[in-house]
Amino acid sequence: MAGARRLLKLSGWLPMKRGRLREPTLAFETWGQQNRDRDNAVLIFTGLSPSAHVASSPEDPSTGWWEDMVGPDKPIDTNRYFVICVNSLGSCFGSTGPASIDPDTGKPYRLTFPVLCVEDIARAGAEVVRSLGIETLYATVGASMGGMTALAFCTMFPNISRGLVAISSAARSTPFAIAMRSLQREMIRKDPHWCEGNYPPGEGPITGMRLARKLGMITYRSAPEWERRFGRERATDEAPNGPFRIDFEVEAYLEAHANKFVGAFDANCYLYLSRAMDLFDIADHGGSIAAGLDPVQLDRALVIGVNTDFLFPLKQQIELADGLKHVVPEVDFRALDSIQGHDSFLVDMDRFRPAVASFF
Amino acid sequence: MAGARRLLKLSGWLPMKRGRLREPTLAFETWGQQNRDRDNAVLIFTGLSPSAHVASSPEDPSTGWWEDMVGPDKPIDTNRYFVICVNSLGSCFGSTGPASIDPDTGKPYRLTFPVLCVEDIARAGAEVVRSLGIETLYATVGASMGGMTALAFCTMFPNISRGLVAISSAARSTPFAIAMRSLQREMIRKDPHWCEGNYPPGEGPITGMRLARKLGMITYRSAPEWERRFGRERATDEAPNGPFRIDFEVEAYLEAHANKFVGAFDANCYLYLSRAMDLFDIADHGGSIAAGLDPVQLDRALVIGVNTDFLFPLKQQIELADGLKHVVPEVDFRALDSIQGHDSFLVDMDRFRPAVASFF
């Protein structure tokens, strides 16, 4: 276990949108200190694949997945804020998920894990906040699936957070995004090594996960970025790939990303988290996006989108910001001109740092 | 053999860009009659997957793949024009391809088929034209890969065609399109039933082909179309799909398209044709797009693109039209506001019929 990771084991059952979970564990990390008024806490929800390790700390000096954004004198300044990041329920970095042992059977849940919804991840986050004795959050922050989760959190627990920062997120998934993720899941499920989810721990559908990661990467970046970055450059390192070898640099790039990902993420967890995004629709909480957002009681919200993001397109950020404007006194919407598509919040820090800092 | 299909068996070797082929057969169909001046022939190249059956005829009354565009009193009017459509070299609908028997071995070529390039498909088309005694074409027409082929044809055989109609095509593939197609090919190759290309004829990587077709369909349509058409509609017919069932209508739509495609196309042929598109770059014929287009000797060209096409984006149509303007006296460029993305030329006939008719 990494030195900074803390585990909260809940007693009894955690209710889920479509089931319940007995005594789940939630992994999280914290940075900074709570102030005397206990009103400086910032809760961060993650995208599909990261752990709770959003930034380095003395306890775990390894680079976090948003190292440039969170830390002393960073936009989310851990000298001023008490930052909490939760590993999503259903993930595989300490929080209970399909790869965890079911206490009732002594065996991994695998596909007996209840259908996971974004709302369940939000509820798990609320349990972590409660366990820390926090009644008020300065802000809830999330990008991508984390933005969906932050939005669900502010809808389901409207009295906790005073602010919301939703980045490259959405009030619900589009059919295009559903198609892209559904196909990723199918690639994993159709790998014979998936074994209907019953692969041995640590093994599993490596080929399916590699293919899924490649399609994921295609949806996370943008055509203009690749045009600028790769053009029609030929691959220099030809993988021993049979007669259909890697011809172009863009193929080698995807290959490298697939190699990095495999082994780092449990396939069943990926399936559950991916589907949770498809199922998310804030309109489920009231019949329309506006009605779904109605319970929200925020002072301020910041919505950030990127013009080259085609997975969570700018249109969805505008839709979300417009919806929030009906219920939130102060809504700031920013469309950033980043070239890296959906992943820009992880890469184009020169644009994202000031945008996020403006809120804090 | 379908009643309308004609076969041309070449004698000797057909030179290819990266190899050569002994005595290949080329399948084609024709509609209408050559006029006395022998200047009314129109040559149509196809996209990746269609056969030469572009339209119905007395000999083969089945609906063609561009039935609304080609026929008596249609935009490409077979009362006026002698229309020829060629099944691409490398395909599996009568023309020689990886699934055909290698006369030297008596066994299917499979992966011993030479690397296929768009230029080879164009050269095969020129052989068909020559065999019909045609020295001048009124126009060469193609959409998608067919547009690339038509462009290659007009570059390689500059004295034959007087007109060019290039639809949703490109002077070269972008890294984004390469990534999408490369991943489709990898899905097929990673299917254990591919057997390094040595699957029994008529069998093969069905799962890989299904996945590839789904990703293909995602790239052929558009996010706005699916938003309008499916939204978040739930699937009514749940496929017996295990715990990760089909939840949304968009997933059922992709499933139906995959079902239709499988069995209809040979996997190795798909791999070869798909890669041919990646490899195509008109700049290979001179060092830049402009230099590559320099040999072209057309009187007129029509370039059509669609604003929702993200596989062959409008930007590439503009690039192609601009390139042609340097060498072609009359270039008409049309950006159509169709919602069906790359496939619009097959679907949005209300917009495409008049656009194509304007040329003829």
**Residue B10, in any domain of the structure:** yes
> Do residues B27 and B150 share a domain?
yes
pTM: 0.96
Task: Find the closest chain A residue to B197 by CA distance.
Answer: A243
- The closest of A28, A299, A358, A324 to A138, measured between CA atoms, is A299
> Do residues B216 and B130 share a domain?
no
**Residue A276, in any domain of the structure:** no
pLDDT of residue B202: 76
Å between A289 CA and nearest CA of chain B: 13
Is B145:B48 a contact under the CB 8 Å cutoff? Answer: yes
Spatial separation of the C-alpha atoms in residues B192 and B293, rounded to whole Å = 42
Spatial separation of the C-alpha atoms in residues B39 and A223, rounded to whole Å = 42
Burial class of A236 by CB neighbour count within 10 A (0 to 12, 13 to 18, 19+):
exposed
pLDDT of residue A242: 53
- The closest of A39, A52, A70, A69 to A5, measured between CA atoms, is A52
pLDDT of residue A240: 46
* Cβ within 8 Å, pair B180-A218: yes
Candidate from B176, B242, B251 with C-beta closest to A182: B251
Mutate to test the interface with A, among B117, B178, B282 (most CBs of A within 10 A): B178
Lowest-confidence pick of A11-25, A208-222, A231-245? A231-245
> Do residues A224 and A183 share a domain?
yes
Q: How confident is the model at residue B237 (pLDDT cuts 50, 70, 90)?
A: low
Task: Give the start-end residues of each E strand in chain B.
Answer: 6-9, 13-16, 19-22, 25-31, 41-45, 70-71, 76-77, 82-86, 101-102, 107-108, 137-143, 163-167, 300-306, 330-336
Could you tell me the CA-to-CA distances from A166 to A356, B161, B353 in Å, in that order? 10, 55, 44
Cβ–Cβ contact A231 with B under 8 A: yes
- The closest of A115, A131, A154, A86 to A302, measured between CA atoms, is A154
User: Token pair of A103, please?
Assistant: 């206490």
* Cβ within 8 Å, pair B182-A111: no
* Cβ within 8 Å, pair B187-A186: no
Write out chain A residues lying below 8 Å of B178, CB-based: 248, 250-251
| Eight-state DSSP code of residue B51 | -
Burial class of B248 by CB neighbour count within 10 A (0 to 12, 13 to 18, 19+):
buried
Spatial separation of the C-alpha atoms in residues A284 and A156, rounded to whole Å = 12
User: Which helix (DSSP H) or strand (DSSP E) does residue B279 occupy?
Assistant: helix B267-279
Which residues are within 8 A (CB) of A356 and not within 5 positions of it... i.e. 6 or more apart? Answer: A69, A75, A76, A141, A165, A167, A302, A304
Spatial separation of the C-alpha atoms in residues B220 and B310, rounded to whole Å = 8
Which residues are within 8 A (CB) of A31 and not within 5 positions of it... i.e. 6 or more apart? Answer: A54, A55, A57, A70, A71, A78, A82, A83
> Do residues B335 and B300 share a domain?
yes
Spatial separation of the C-alpha atoms in residues B273 and A240, rounded to whole Å = 21
Task: Find the closest chain A residue to B196 by CA distance.
Answer: A242
Query: Strand order in A82-86's β-sheet?
Result: A6-9, A25-31, A82-86, A41-45, A137-143, A163-167, A300-306, A330-336
Structural domain total, chain B: 2
Please, which residues bridge with residue A190 across strands? none
The mean per-residue pLDDT over the stretch B175-194 comes to: 97
* Cβ within 8 Å, pair B248-A175: yes
Please list, residue by residue across B207-240, b when 16 or more beta carbons sit within 10 angstroms of its beta carbon and e when fewer do: bbbbbbbbbbbbbbbbbbbbbeebebeebeeeee
* Cβ within 8 Å, pair A242-B192: no
CA dihedral B256, B258, B263, B265 (to 10 degrees): 130
**Residue A62, in any domain of the structure:** yes
Res A243 pLDDT > 80: no
Candidate from B218, B249, B313 with C-beta closest to A180: B218
Candidate from A179, A231, A281 with C-beta closest to B254: A179
Query: What interface predicted TM-score (ipTM) does this complex get?
Result: 0.95
Which residues are within 8 A (CB) of B225 and not within 5 positions of it... i.e. 6 or more apart? Answer: B308, B339, B340, B341
pLDDT of residue A79: 98
User: Token pair of B309, please?
Assistant: 């096409």
> Do residues B113 and B239 share a domain?
no
**Residue A83, in any domain of the structure:** yes
Write out chain B residues lying below 8 Å of A310, CB-based: 223, 310
- The closest of B147, B127, B142, B179 to B21, measured between CA atoms, is B127
> Do residues A294 and A184 share a domain?
no
Res A65 pLDDT > 90: yes
User: How far out from the chain centre does Cα B357 lie?
Assistant: 20
Cβ–Cβ contact B240 with A under 8 A: no
Could you tell me the CA-to-CA distances from A239 to A83, A243, B178, B238 in Å, in that order? 43, 11, 17, 40
Spatial separation of the C-alpha atoms in residues A330 and B188, rounded to whole Å = 51
pLDDT tens column, B40-92:
999 999 999 999 999 999 999 999 999 999 999 999 999 999 999 999 999 99
* Cβ within 8 Å, pair B251-A173: no
The mean per-residue pLDDT over the stretch B237-264 comes to: 82
Of A271, A305, A330, the one marking the end of a domain is: A271
Is B223:A313 a contact under the CB 8 Å cutoff? Answer: yes
Spatial separation of the C-alpha atoms in residues B70 and B349, rounded to whole Å = 12
pLDDT of residue A238: 52
Spatial separation of the C-alpha atoms in residues B161 and B303, rounded to whole Å = 15
Question: Strand, coil or helix: what is A235?
Answer: coil
Write out chain A residues lying below 8 Å of B179, CB-based: 214, 218, 226, 250-251, 254
Write out chain A residues lying below 8 Å of B173, CB-based: 232
User: Token pair of B319, please?
Assistant: 């690039």
Average pLDDT score, chain A? 95
pLDDT tens column, A199-230:
998 789 999 999 999 999 999 999 999 999 99
Lowest-confidence pick of A31-40, A91-100, A241-250, B171-180? A241-250
Cβ–Cβ contact A318 with B under 8 A: no
The helix-helix angle for B145-156 and B118-131 (nearest 10°) equals 70
Is B30:B127 a contact under the CB 8 Å cutoff? Answer: no
pLDDT of residue B242: 53
> Do residues B210 and B86 share a domain?
no
> Do residues B168 and B210 share a domain?
no
φ and ψ of B126, to 5 deg: -65, -35
- CB atoms near residue A307 (< 10 Å): 17
pLDDT tens column, B102-137:
999 999 999 999 999 999 999 999 999 999 999 999
> Do residues A25 and A131 share a domain?
yes
Cβ–Cβ contact B313 with A under 8 A: yes
> Do residues A119 and A237 share a domain?
no
Of B270, B295, B318, the one marking the end of a domain is: B270
- The closest of A289, A283, A357 to A326, measured between CA atoms, is A289
Q: Establish, for the pair of chains A and B, how many residue pairs have beta carbons separated by less than 8 Å.
A: 129
Spatial separation of the C-alpha atoms in residues B131 and B139, rounded to whole Å = 17
Query: The domain spanning residue B319 has which CATH number?
Result: 3.40.50.1820
Q: Provide the percentage of residues in chain B whose pLDDT is more than 90.
A: 92
Candidate from B207, B232, B275 with C-beta closest to A244: B275
Q: Which of A274, A342, A343, A348 is catalytic?
A: A342
Cβ–Cβ contact A280 with B under 8 A: no
Candidate from B179, B226, B230 with C-beta closest to A218: B179
Give the A window 63-122 contacts with B, CB below 8 Å.
111
Please, which residues bridge with residue A185 across strands? none
> Do residues B266 and B168 share a domain?
no
**Residue A1, in any domain of the structure:** no
**Residue B1, in any domain of the structure:** no
The mean per-residue pLDDT over the stretch A232-241 comes to: 69
- The closest of A324, A145, A18, A282 to B232, measured between CA atoms, is A282
pLDDT of residue A285: 83
Of A221, A245, A271, the one marking the end of a domain is: A271
Q: Domain span at residue A250?
A: 177-271
The residue assigned the tokens 């190292």 is: A67
Question: Strand, coil or helix: what is B285?
Answer: helix
**Residue B275, in any domain of the structure:** no
* Cβ within 8 Å, pair B218-A278: no
The mean per-residue pLDDT over the stretch A36-55 comes to: 97
> Do residues B90 and B52 share a domain?
yes
Question: Vertex B169, ends B168 and B171: CA angle to 5°?
Answer: 150
Q: Is A285 a catalytic residue?
A: no
User: Which helix (DSSP H) or strand (DSSP E) does residue A323 occupy?
Assistant: helix A314-325
Q: Is A144 a catalytic residue?
A: yes
- The closest of A140, A148, A145, A265 to A210, measured between CA atoms, is A265
Q: Which residue has the higher pLDDT, B2 or B122?
A: B122
Q: Is B309 a catalytic residue?
A: yes
Q: Which of B120, B191, B278, B309 is catalytic?
A: B309
* Cβ within 8 Å, pair A111-B243: yes
Cβ–Cβ contact B187 with A under 8 A: yes
Cβ–Cβ contact A173 with B under 8 A: yes
Q: Where are the alpha helices (DSSP H) in B159-245?
A: 175-189, 206-220, 223-229
**Residue B326, in any domain of the structure:** yes
